[in-house]
A and B are shown apart, each in its own frame.
Chain A
Amino acid sequence: DIQMTQSPSSVSASVGDRVTITCRASQGISRWLAWYQQKPGKAPNLLIYVASSLQSGVPSRFSGSGSGTDFTLTISSLQPEDFATYYCQQANSFPLTFGGGTKVEIK
């Protein structure tokens, strides 16, 4: 199985900050990576697919990059509604696996 490791597990940031979250796969997954945002008590929301494609309706301050084993989600200017937990997920092979999550908290 492919293990997905996210870092950091939590980050404190202020509105307007640039935030970067990384995700590392235990083996190469080409660009088969998705990113999700989840707020408490809600279902996850797809942000990015195939490493860098922005899902329709998602603000352009979100961007994704990477290939192989190392990936990054960047929020260019953090907004109040962005405080949430973010998950990466590999779609290269079954079983599909998620990272452990990164909680973005208010500083």
Chain B
Amino acid sequence: EVQLVESGGGLVQPGGSLRLSCAASGFTFSSYAMSWVRQAPGKGLEWVSATSGSGISTYYADSVKGRFTISRDNSKNTLFLQMNSLRAEDTAVYFCAKGRDSGSQPYDAFHIWGQGTMVSVSS
């Protein structure tokens, strides 16, 4: 069974840091692009960051560029999101999501999602 399980969320003060993890199973992890998508309480979906299967290519939303870093360890089938200089507006459920296609269009849709991990930024 294809599965994604996020961890690492919690309560952090403004300006603090947090590292999210996403453990993947049931598929060839290194063959698929992966993304982080977040959802603030009562709000819509916001794409945060993506990385290619190899981890060489990375992409960020303007709202997190320079503060967040996406990475992956393909030997451990794990995706990470290092979040620094956190702000109140970063408060959200963070989902990791698997790209649908392992071929020529790795970013065309988010096929499998984790259950999400809550990040709260507050003093």
User: Which chain A residues have a beta carbon within 8 Å of chain B's beta carbons?
Assistant: 1, 32, 34, 36, 38, 43-46, 49-50, 55, 87, 89, 91, 94-101
Contacts and interface: CB of A to CB of B under 8 A. Distances in A.
B113 A44 contact: yes
Given A43-B114, A43-B115, A91 B109 contact: yes
Contact of A44 (B59, B107, B110): B110
Given A49-B100, A55-B111, A87-B45, 18 more contacts: A34-B108, A36-B45, A43-B113, A44-B95, A45-B113, A46-B109, A46-B110, A49-B109, A50-B105, A50-B109, A55-B100, A89-B109, A91-B107, A96-B107, A98-B45, A98-B46, A100-B44, A101-B44
14 contacts: A43-B113, A46-B110, A49-B108, A49-B109, A50-B105, A55-B100, A55-B111, A89-B47, A94-B50, A94-B59, A96-B50, A98-B47, A100-B44, A101-B44
Interface in B30-60: 35, 37, 44-47, 50, 59-60
B116 A43 contact: yes
Contacts of B109: 34, 46, 49-50, 55, 89, 91
Contact of B47 (A45, A49, A55, A95): A95
A44 B4 CA distance: 13
Given A32-B108, A34-B109, A98 B100 contact: no
B108 A95 contact: no
Contacts of A46: 100, 109-111
Interface string B81-117: 0000000000000010000100001011111011110
Interface of B: 35, 37, 44-47, 50, 59-62, 95, 100, 105, 107-111, 113-116
A94 B57 CA distance: 12
Contacts of A50: 105, 108-109
